[in-house]
Structure 1
Amino acid sequence: MTTTITSEKKQPKQGMLDNVMRQFNNAADIIELNKNIRKILEVTNSEFIVHFPVRMDNGEVEIFTGYRVQHNNALGPYKGGLRYHPTVDIDAARALAMWMTWKTSLAGLPYGGAKGGIQLDPTKYSQDELQRITRRFTYALGDNIGPELDIPAPDVNTNAQTMAWILDTYMSTKSPNERSKNLHVVTGKPIGAGGSEGRDRATGYGVYLTIKFWAESKNTDLKGKKFIVQGFGNVGYWAAYFLEREGAVLTAVQDAYGSIHNDQGISTENLMAYTKANKGSILGFAGASPMDNGDFFSLDCDICIPAALGNQITVKNAHTIKAGLIAEGANGPTDVQAEEILLQRGVDIIPDILCNSGGVIGSYFEWLQNRNGEIWTLEEVLDKLEKKMRESYFKVAQKAKSKKVDMRTAAFIIAIERLEETYVQRGIFP
C-alpha cells in the first residue's frame, strides 16, 4: 500500500521542519532570493508513504510505515539517509530532506536532497526481523530509488548491514544483465559489498575536521581542550576518536540509555569496547560516573558535540551551556530560538550542513568508485575528504565575514545561491 504526494505545500509545524524553514527564509531574505525560485525550494518534489506487512519471528504479522521524501534534484540525484526510529514521520522526513539539499549544495556535490526511514524502535526486533523489515521496505519503495535517481545511505539506527540488505533486494528486482549497473543504488555498504574504505568514519572525521579548522582560525590548540559528546554511535565515536588523538579530552558522554562523566577524561576506545559488550549502552562503564541527563549540556567544557537527534539544544538549556563551541554532528540539534541565545552569548556554532557533511562527501566518493569501477585506499579517501571539507569550511567562514552573519546563515546563503544560479541558467519547464 503506497501513498504518493507530489509537491504538496503545507504550513511548517513546530519542530525540525519549522527550524529548517526559518533558517531557509532567513538566508533567502538576506540574499533577496528570486521569488519564483523561492517557491520551488520551499516545498518538496515528491513524498512517499508506504505501509507494508512483515511476518515476525513468532508468526504474527505486523504493519510498518515507511517514508521517503525527495526535496530537490536540480543539482543531481536525490541523496540522503534512512533512519529507523520512533520519531520518524512525514514532517521529520521533510525537514531532513531539505537539510540534505542544502548540505549537498554547500559541499559542491552533484546531488539533491532526500531523507526517509521507518517508524520503529529497532531494539524491539531481532536481526532476522530487521532484515525482513528492511527488504520489504525496499520492495515497497520500488523504482522510487535508484543509482541515478535517489541514493539512500545509513542514518540513525541503520548501518552497513542495512545497506547491504537494501542493495541485495533492489538488485534482485532487476534482470541479471542489469544488476551490475546498480551497485551504487546505496552508499555506506560493507567493503565486501562494494563499500568504500573510510566511509564508516567519514561523518565523525568530518566533525573533527571542522573543529580542527575552527581551532586554526582561532589560533588555538586542541590539546587539553575538554569536550562532551551526545550520542556515541558512529558519528560521536569517530569524532571523539580523532579529537582524542589531537590531545583533546573527552569528559562526558550521553546516549539513549543515560549520561556518564569523568572530568579527568574518558578513554574513547575503552568506552566503545564496553558498549559493544553491553548492548550499545554506556551505563555502568567503570571509567566514569553516572550523572543526571538534565545536567549534561551544562557541564564545564570547551567543545560540545551534539551527535544524536534533532532539537536537543533548546531555550530550556541554551542559557546553561558553558562550551565555547558547538559542533553539530547531528542534523538540526539546535533549535532556532536556542541558537539566538547562544550567538548572543558569543558561543560559536559549526552548523550541521557543514559540520556533518563528511558523511555525504564520503558517500559521494563511494558512489564514484562504484560508478567508475575504482577502489581507493583509506588514505586517499581521508585526504580527499579533508581537502573538500577545508574548502567548504573556509568558504563559509569568509561568507560569514563578508555578509556579517553567523556561520549557519553563511552556509545557507552559499547553498541557496548555487541552486539559484542553476535555476537561472536552466530556466523552468515549460
Structure 2
Amino acid sequence: MELLTKNLNSKTKKVLHRGMMDNVMEQFNRAANHINLQPNIRKILSITNNEIVVHFPVKMDNGNVEVFKGYRVQHNNALGPYKGGLRYHSTVDIDATRALAMWMTWKTSLAGLPFGGGKGGIQINPLKYSKSELERITRRFTFALADNIGPEHDIPAPDVNTNSQTMAWIADTYMSTRPPAERSANQHVVTGKPAGSGGLEGRDRATGFGVYYSIKLWINNNNDTLKNKRFIVQGFGNVGYWAAFFLEQDGAKLVAVQDAFGSIQNPNGIQVETLFEYTKSNNGSIVDYPEASIIDKDVFFGVDCDIFIPAALGNQITKNNAPNIKAKLLAEGANGPTNIEGEALLIEQGTTIIPDILCNSGGVIASYFEWLQNRNGELWHMEDVMDKLKHKLKNSFDAVATYAQKENIDMRTAAYCIAITRIEKAYVQRGIFP
C-alpha cells in the first residue's frame, strides 16, 4: 500500500495539487533558462497536448449505480507514444494529473526512450470497493477512454493503487473492442501486465531496483559502500519494498518506515522481508509491527540516517520538515515528493537529491522492454531484463552526474536540461506543422 493522503478536504487537495504543478513548472523553467530553450518550444512544452475527462456509470455489487470520474492527460509525444501510469486515488484530479504527465515526458526523454509523457487515473478510494467492483470500474474506464489509448498512441501502466491485475483487465477490455484479426497485435496497449499475460519478468521490482541502483551508483561515485548505511523509507508499497530489499541485500540497514497508517522505528534495524510478510497479514499496514517502536509521523522525518527514500506521494517534503532531515542523500522513489521550498532547504544544508525522473525511472525503462517484447513477439528472461535495466540506468545516471558537475548545478536541474534538450532537438530537426 502506497502512502495515502488521508482526511483532506477539497480546498486542501487543490492547494496540494496546485503546488505539484507549481513545482514542475519551476523545475522546467529553471532548466529551460539554463539551456536557453528556444521560446517557441518553451511555449509548446509548458502546456499539455490533450486532457481527457470521462464520467462513467458502474453497477455495484448491491445493484446500485455509481458514477466515476476518470482522467488521462497527454503532455507531449514529440519522441514517441504517450507513456505513463494510471492511479486510483481520492486525490486524483486534473491539476495533479497535468503535473504527473509533464514529469513523465522528462523521465522518458532522460532515459533515452522513444516515448512521450502521459498520466491518468480515477478519483476513487479503492479500499471501499470489492475486487469485482474494481474490475468493472477498470473495464468501464477503459471503454470510456476508447481510442484515446493504444499501443502506438498512449500506453498506460500501473501506478498508485493499481497493479498487474488492473493492467490485465485493461488489456483484455481494449483487445475485446478491436476487430478479431487485430486483437493479439494490441497486447502492448498497457505495460506492467502479469508475466503469464504478456508481462515482463522483473517488471514488479524494476522501479524499486532503479531507486536502489541509483543510490549505489552515487555511493560508488563517492568512493563509499552501502555496508551499514542506515536508511528510512516513506511508503512501503511496491517501490519502497523493493528498494529496501535490494539495499538490505547490499549491506544497508532499514531503521524507520512510514506508511498511510503510521510510522515505526528500530535503530538496530528492521528486517525488510519480515516486515513485508507482516504487512500481508495486517491489511497492508506496518502499524503494530512487533519488532519496532511506533513514532510520530513528524518525528519520522528527523530519524538519524544516511539515506532517505520518499516512495509515497508528491509534496511530502516541505519547508516544514526538510530542516529535520538528517540524511545526506535523498533518493526520490515517488514522483514529486519534494516541493521547491523543501528542496532549497535540503540543498542549503548539504543534502544531495537524486531526482525522481532519474531515480525512479527503472519502472518506465522496464515498461519499454515489455512493450518491445509484446511488439516483437519475444520472451525476455529475468537475467536479461536486469542486465539491460542496469545498463540504461547507469547511462542516465552517469550523464546527469557528469552534466551536474560540469555546469556546477544540482542533479535535478541537470536531469531536466538533458531531457528537455533531447526534445528540443526533435522539434528543431522535424520542424513544427504546418
> Superposition pairs for residues 160-239 of structure 1, below 5 Å?
160-239=164-243
Matched letter for residue 47 of structure 1? E
Alignment-derived partner of residue 403 in structure 2: 399
> What is the alpha-carbon distance in structure 2 between the residues aligned to residue 422 and residue 99 of structure 1?
18
> Superposition pairs for residues 268-287 of structure 1, below 5 Å?
268-287=272-291
Shift of 1:61: 0.7
Select 1:29's aligned residue among 30, 33, 43.
Answer: 33
TM-score (norm 2): 0.96
Matched letter for residue 104 of structure 1? T
Find out whether 1:154 has 2:158 as its counterpart: yes
> Superposition pairs for residues 414-429 of structure 1, below 5 Å?
414-429=418-433
**Kept after mapping to 1: 8 A contact 2:148/2:154:** yes
Alignment-derived partner of residue 308 in structure 1: 312
Per-residue Cα deviation, 1:200-247 (whole angstroms, up to 9, x for no partner): 000000000000000011101100000000000000000000000000
Alignment root-mean-square deviation, CA: 0.9
Per-residue Cα deviation, 1:174-216 (whole angstroms, up to 9, x for no partner): 1110101101000000011100000000000000000000001
> What is the alpha-carbon distance in structure 2 between the residues aligned to residue 52 and residue 403 of structure 1?
49
Alignment-derived partner of residue 119 in structure 1: 123
Alignment-derived partner of residue 247 in structure 1: 251
Q: Secondary structure at the match of 1:298?
A: coil
Q: Secondary structure at the match of 1:14?
A: helix
> Superposition pairs for residues 77-88 of structure 1, below 5 Å?
77-88=81-92
Select 2:73's aligned residue among 69, 76, 90.
Answer: 69
> What is the alpha-carbon distance in structure 2 between the residues aligned to residue 54 and residue 276 of structure 1?
29
> What is the alpha-carbon distance in structure 2 between the residues aligned to residue 250 and residue 230 of structure 1?
11
> What is the alpha-carbon distance in structure 1 between the residues aligned to residue 17 and residue 124 of structure 2?
22
Q: Secondary structure at the match of 1:116?
A: strand
Q: Secondary structure at the match of 1:135?
A: helix
What fraction of aligned residue pairs are identical, expressed as a percent? 69
Q: Secondary structure at the match of 2:133?
A: helix
Find out whether 1:342 has 2:307 as its counterpart: no
> What is the alpha-carbon distance in structure 2 between the residues aligned to residue 82 and residue 288 of structure 1?
33
Per-residue Cα deviation, 1:108-131 (whole angstroms, up to 9, x for no partner): 000000000000111111101100
> What is the alpha-carbon distance in structure 2 between the residues aligned to residue 13 and residue 214 of structure 1?
31
Shift of 1:14: 3.3
**Kept after mapping to 1: 8 A contact 2:18/2:96:** no
Alignment-derived partner of residue 361 in structure 1: 365
> What is the alpha-carbon distance in structure 2 between the residues aligned to residue 269 and residue 225 of structure 1?
18
Shift of 1:152: 0.2
Shift of 1:402: 1.2
> What is the alpha-carbon distance in structure 1 between the residues aligned to residue 151 and residue 330 of structure 2?
35
> What is the alpha-carbon distance in structure 2 between the residues aligned to residue 101 and residue 399 of structure 1?
19
Shift of 1:412: 0.1
Aligned residues: 419
Alignment-derived partner of residue 373 in structure 1: 377
Alignment-derived partner of residue 3 in structure 1: none
Matched letter for residue 86 of structure 2? L
> What is the alpha-carbon distance in structure 1 between the residues aligned to residue 67 and residue 407 of structure 2?
50
Alignment-derived partner of residue 317 in structure 1: 321
> What is the alpha-carbon distance in structure 2 between the residues aligned to residue 63 and residue 141 of structure 1?
15
Identify the structure with bigger relative contact order (alpha carbons < 8 Å, sequence gap 6+): 2
TM-score (norm 1): 0.97
Matched letter for residue 106 of structure 2? W
Find out whether 1:137 has 2:141 as its counterpart: yes
> What is the alpha-carbon distance in structure 2 between the residues aligned to residue 96 and residue 71 of structure 1?
9
